[in-house]
Amino acid sequence: EILLTQSPGTLSLSPGERATLSCRASQTLDRNSLAWYQQKPGQTPRLLIYDASSRATGIPDRFSGSGSGTDFTLTINRLEPEDFALYYCQQYGSSFSFGPGTKVDI
């Protein structure tokens, strides 16, 4: 089973700042099979990024993903008020697993 760790656990920022979230896999992910999701309280997860760096349909370009192998990053440029939420990474290179999440709050 591939384990994912996310850091930091909580990121305290202000609107307009840049958020950098990290996700590390316990093994190399085939085909950079890593996705990022955003979840707000009481809402379903929303796909932001797949294949490590491809933005999902309708996702603003202030969201970007990078990385390969075992280390991946989600960057949110110029935080908007609606971006304060919980973010999960997920690997699908070998079955599935999710990271524990990073909370981005004000």
Partner 1 sequence: EVQLLESGGGLIQPGGSLRLSCVGSGFTINNDAMSWVRQAPGKGLEWISSISGRTYGTHYADSVKGRFTLSRDISKNMVYLQMNSLRADDTALYYCAKVVRWNQIFDAFDMWGQGTMVTVSS
- Give the footprint of partner 1 on this chain (CB under 8 A): 33, 35, 37, 39, 44-47, 50-51, 56-57, 88, 90, 92-101
Looking at residue 79, its amino acid is L
- Residue 40 or 78 with smaller CB distance to partner 1: 40
Strand partners, 25: 4
Instruction: Name the minimum Å distance from CB 14 to partner 1.
Output: 26
Instruction: Name the minimum Å distance from CB 86 to partner 1.
Output: 9
- Residue 13 or 47 with smaller CB distance to partner 1: 47
- Residue 14 or 61 with smaller CB distance to partner 1: 61
Instruction: Name the minimum Å distance from CB 43 to partner 1.
Output: 9
Instruction: Name the minimum Å distance from CB 16 to partner 1.
Output: 28
Q: What is the DSSP string of the chain?
A: ---EEEE-SEEE--TTS-EEEEEEESSPPGGG-EEEEEE-TTS--EEEEETTTEEPTT--TTEEEEEETTEEEEEE-S--GGG-SEEEEEE-SSS-EE---EEEE-
